[in-house]
Amino acid sequence: MTPIDQKTVIGVVGAGAMGSGIAQVAAAAGHPVVLADALAGATKKAHDRISRAVLRDVEKGRRTQDDANALLGRIQFVEAPLGDDLAMYAKCGVVIEAIVEDLAAKQTLFRQLESVLSKDAVVATNTSSLSIASIAGACTSPERVIGMHFFNPAPVMPLVEVVPWLGGDPTLAPRVYEIATAWGKTPVIATDTPGFIVNRVARPFYGEALRLLEEGVADAPTIDWAMKDLGGFRMGPFELMDFIGNDVNYAVTRSVFEGFFFEPRYRPSLTQRRLVESGFFGRKTGRGYYDYREGATNPAPTKDPSVGLLVFERILAMLINEAADAALMRVASPADIDLAMTRGVNYPKGLLAWANELGLARVLGWLERLQAEYGEDRYRPSPLLRRKVRDGHGFLE
């Protein structure tokens, strides 16, 4: 394959928040970039978004005005909406897809891209939860397809999940890993399983919080308070779901649930489903778990330490258990799982290292009590956690 350096043209398909962010990252690393979108006017919005971002960098002294002008000058903003003609990407050595999270749409796009790209061009998908194999399988040259999952906002968040698939070129993952590193990112290698690392391991942060809400253990403000004040998380689960968008969060949960053949640990919440059906997506619609409309007043948390500790320990136990199970199933190395959760979603500590600090027997006890109380597989402890407790070893050893 042709070496990838600063002269390599990077194509980004999709000019939404994620696509424009990836384009900015590639241009900041010195690459010429081609950015286009199927929606009329989307690329103009992307130009405005990137311009505002680099202007803030100039104002804060992170780059000079000349650097900002050069960065913008390296991006070709294609204003004509994409159709069947993708000729603008013919010169690209790497193309990163960042369109709607829909398998059929991605498969169609990848087939169209193949007709214009050179034989050794790399084609990456920024999917957050869809199977890389299912996307690659639609291609005539599937071996050059790989997952390259950035986190939003891409210019700020350091993590990139590099996701090879069974039929991919074995040299491709190391090359994409090097690209991400050269772009100033923190890459980790993940296997092609639903949700990869972060969107799999993070499911209990939302799912168990929703379960606690539905049971009436605490309301949303109190659960958010517990996870921030007692756990050190930057945002509580309900604040974060409203920020991400309940439509997006619910769709990812469903995708992971279905992808794991309806594994009960990932079962979606009826509460969240009803919010999505009502159009209460969170900040972007003005209503979610909280009311963001002008003049709205939201309830204050009930800062009861005993309730807060119950909430925190229950959610944390489920997160640690999920991280342990991801390590057991070799989704990624234990070190990369911890790295992904701290660098991808800003967790205060790596979950496996956190378990070591707490004591694995203590975490196992939390889970065993939950499973005994509810009798559900949802709370079954990971075999790896049991094994570590039995053998007297910690994670990351």
SS3 of 289-327? CCECCCCCCCCCCCCCHHHHHHHHHHHHHHHHHHHHHHH
d(CA 222, CA 240): 14
Q: Residue 354: its pLDDT value, please?
A: 98
pLDDT digits (tens, 9 = 90+) for 6-39: 999 999 999 999 999 999 999 999 999 999 999 9
Q: Average pLDDT over the chain, rounded to whole?
A: 96
d(CA 330, CA 255): 20
For residue 228, the 8-state DSSP code is I
Q: Residue 85: its pLDDT value, please?
A: 77
pLDDT digits (tens, 9 = 90+) for 186-224: 999 999 999 999 999 999 999 999 999 999 999 999 999
As a whole-number percent, the residues of the chain with pLDDT over 90 amount to 95
pTM for this structure? 0.93
Structure tokens at 385: 């956690």
As a whole-number percent, the residues of the chain with pLDDT over 70 amount to 98
- Bridge partners of 124, per DSSP, are 96, 146
Which phi and psi angles does 212 have, rounded to 5°? -60, -40
Q: Residue 195: its pLDDT value, please?
A: 94
Task: Please report which residue ranges of the chain form alpha helices under DSSP H.
Answer: 17-28, 42-59, 65-73, 103-114, 132-136, 172-182, 198-201, 203-215, 220-225, 237-244, 246-259, 270-277, 305-328, 334-344, 351-358, 360-374, 383-391
| pLDDT higher than threshold 80 for residue 106 | yes
Looking at residue 330, its amino acid is R
Q: How confident is the model at residue 321 (pLDDT cuts 50, 70, 90)?
A: very high
Stretch 291-314: mean pLDDT: 96
d(CA 287, CA 278): 10
Looking at residue 284, its amino acid is K
| pLDDT higher than threshold 70 for residue 83 | no
Nearest Cα to Cα of residue 142 among 162, 171, 122: 122
Question: What domains can you pick out in the chain, each with its CATH number?
Answer: 10-189 (3.40.50.720), 200-389 (1.10.1040.50)
| pLDDT higher than threshold 80 for residue 81 | no
| pLDDT higher than threshold 70 for residue 387 | yes
| pLDDT higher than threshold 70 for residue 339 | yes
Q: Residue 84: its pLDDT value, please?
A: 66
Q: Residue 385: its pLDDT value, please?
A: 98
Q: Residue 1: its pLDDT value, please?
A: 63
pLDDT digits (tens, 9 = 90+) for 146-171: 999 999 899 999 999 999 999 999 99
Q: Give the alpha-carbon dihedral of 261, 251, 162, 23, to 10 degrees.
A: 160
E strand or H helix that includes residue 160: strand 159-163
Residue written as token pair 């925190």: 312
Structure tokens at 9: 């043209």
pLDDT digits (tens, 9 = 90+) for 256-300: 999 999 999 999 999 999 999 999 999 999 999 999 999 999 999
pLDDT digits (tens, 9 = 90+) for 353-377: 999 999 999 999 999 999 999 999 9
Catalytic residues: 128, 149, 161, 199
Pairing of strands 145-150, 159-163: antiparallel
Q: Residue 304: its pLDDT value, please?
A: 96
Q: Residue 278: its pLDDT value, please?
A: 98
d(CA 49, CA 37): 14
Strand, coil or helix: 335? helix
Q: Residue 120: its pLDDT value, please?
A: 92
Structure tokens at 295: 């003049």
